[in-house]
Structures are given as structure tokens and as C-alpha cells.
Amino acid sequence: MSATGTAAPPVETLDSFLERGLALLESRSRRRSEQARTWGEGSDDVNLIDDGADGPDAPDVLAARAWQARKLDAGFGWVTGPPELGGAGLPTHYETAFKNLEAGFDLPDPSILAVTLHMVLPTVVRWASAQLRDALAPRLARAETVSCQLFSEPEAGSDLAGIRTSAVRDGGDWVVNGQKIWTSGAHFSDIGLIVCRTDPDGPRYRNLTAFIVDMHDPGVEVRPIRQLTGHSSFNEVFLTDVRIPDTHRLGEPGQGWAVIISTLMSERSSIGTGNSTKTVDPGMLLELVRRHGDGSALTRDLTARAYTASRLVERFGERCAEELRSGSDPGPRFSIGKILLVDALRRTSELIEHVLGPRIVADTGEWGTFAWSIVSLEQPSFGIGGGTDEIQRNIVAERVLGLPKDRS
């Protein structure tokens, strides 16, 4: 019963929820199995990372935003979000079940909005003031506002506690100066979640504060970083005398480290369960081996290892989904999912390079050969983004297995 004595409305059954979801998906697209890729037809692109190279008006960015808005209106865009902010207010396993259903359809690339929906939105809901949360969360959930995450810096590496970008209090504002790097999607974002040093002499981990910054501010300069692939999905961002109102602060001054941890846990949860990650089409990969493999014992071994590693990623995601369905939170164990994903991509890359040989470094124009080189070029970034492999293994060792910490 509610505080007023009125019974709470019954939660929609999962079967009914998925039935409605299936109707929405079928009204938008066809199942992937109904339009399976045929070798030699259409594009042979196997890119794993969306680059959004053309900025906010790029067709893939616009398509992702439009699909998110449509999902939200139908009750599937923010399944677990509070109804007062535009969410559906349903259990976590409803969201997981719909995402599994959605993966079977040919739809706009979800990774474009991964930072907005899976990292910044949860952080805003948890840490923003009520006024900022109520104004910003519905816009993020609808993708009317797209966000990036401004954490890493050139001289800090993986040591986020060592960042130098400063925010100095000036009346009702904070004046920010500094540089961020490896910022995914900054070139098509409207706002950014930024962490700055607000107490230059304060104790480590208690001298940082988080804010929401306007990426269209004239003091914000975004410079795309050209990668090995030729794409520019990452950026360096320079901030010069950027004024951020104190009302756009997340948490209290000095709570920036807690905001960082909260955001990174959301990120690792998203990656660990596969909610924000593109993967290699296993059917296309096996067809590549069938057409270009030499049938040797080494080829069979590499194929088995790559396939097994990919299946482990899937099974771990299913296990996490089952735990969430039962009301349990895997917490730091999400880091295992990221370790498994990186391992699977590395093994896939090894298989591709072995099977194709020189054709992966020299474009002969043959369909389905040189295009695979992008997987080998992109896969190292997965071992860095969202926390390096070393950080993930430390988390598993210390927080999952209970092993003692390394000596400083």
C-alpha cells in the first residue's frame, strides 16, 4: 500500500512487456536473421567503433537519437528510470530482456549514445541537484542532449586522481582551465561530464569536484585525434576560462572521486554485459575462415580459441543478466566481462591476421579481405578504454577474489 492507503499499480508482466517491445521493433526494422549478410554483397565494413566523424549532423548520430526518442515514448528507452523523469520504472531484468530482443534487429548503432545513456545519465540522477537532475535527465534519456565524459588527461594516464585541470570558484561560477584527452564523442556532444581539481593543496582523492560543462561554450575547443584506422572517434579537449555555474556541480566540492567511481562502475557494467559494445559477426568470421583458411591444425586451433572466447563473453553477459534479474548486483565482477571481451577481440584479431596474411596489410580490392584490418587496428583500444587491463585485473584480484593490494 502507498502512504495514502492506495494500492500501487501492478507491474506489467515481462511477457506483456516483451510482446509490446517486439511489436515496436517489428514496426521499425526486420530481424537480422531475415537479412543476413551475404558474402560478397553490400559493404564489407566490420568497424567496431563508431567514429561519428561528421559531427552532430552525421546520419548515424541523427538515426541513433531518433530511435532513442521513439523507444522512450514507447516505454523502452529508459526501462529502469524513475517515471517522474521519463523512465518506465521497471526492474533491471526487463531492460536486459528488451536489449537481448533488440539485438536481433537491424537498428541504429547503440554505441553512439553509450556514454550518454549508460554513464552520464546514471551519474546525473545520482549526483546532480534536484533542479539540475529534473531538467537534464529527461533530455539525456531522450537523447535530445548528448554527452561525453571528460576524465583522462595527457599527464595523468590511468591515474585519475592526478588530473590537473583546475576549477576556481568565482562568485556563483567556477572558472575551468585545462586539457582532457581520449574523449569519445566530444565532437558531437552538447554537454560533458568533467572532473576538475578544485583544491590545489587538498588531500589526494578529496580535492576533486565534478561538473556538467557546456561543450558549445566558446572556451571549449575540440580537436579530433586521428587514429591508426584513419577515423577520429576520440578527441582532445582544451578548456580556456570556461565558466560553469555552481548549479551545474555534481555532488559536493571535493566529492569528485566518488563521482568518478560511480561513473566508471556504470561504464564497466555496460561494457561487461555487452550493452554498449559492437562485436564481430561470428557468421562472417567463420565464413572468412572457410574461404581463406588453409585447414591446418593451427588455423583450427585459432578458430576454436576465438570462438570459445566469444562464447565466454556471451555467457558472462547472460550470467550477469540472470543475477540482475534475481535482484543481485555483480558490482566489481563486471570487470571480468571487460577482461573477457578484450581477450575475445585479441583472439579474433590473431585469427584474422593468420588467415588473411598479406591481404590484411595490402588492399587488393577483394571483398571481405583488407576490410578486416580495422579489427586488428581497433582492438587494442578496448584494452585501454573504460579502464586498462591492469586496472581491471587489480579490481578482480582485490575486490572479487579478496587478494591483498599491491605495495605502493
What stretches of 45-105 adopt beta strand conformation (E)? none
Contacts of 224 (CB under 8 A, 6+ apart): 53, 187, 232, 234, 235
Best CA proximity match to 266, nearest among 312, 218, 337, 334 = 334
- Whether residue 158 contacts residue 164, with contact meaning beta carbons closer than 8 Å, is answered with no
- 185's torsion region: left (phi>0), alpha (psi -120 to 50) or beta? left
Closest CA to 348 of 311, 384, 323: 311
Catalytic machinery residues: 267
Spatial separation of the C-alpha atoms in residues 80 and 291, rounded to whole Å = 44
Please, which residues have CB within 8 angstroms of residue 347's CB and are 6 or more apart in sequence?
Answer: 302, 305, 306, 309
Which alpha helices (DSSP H) does 361-402 contain, by range?
373-382, 389-395
Chain center to CA of 158: 18
Helix %, strand %, coil % of the chain (to 5): 50, 15, 40
Place of cell 533491471: 92
- Say how far apart CA 83 and CA 10 lie, in whole Å: 14
Q: Could you say which DSSP state residue 147 is in?
A: E
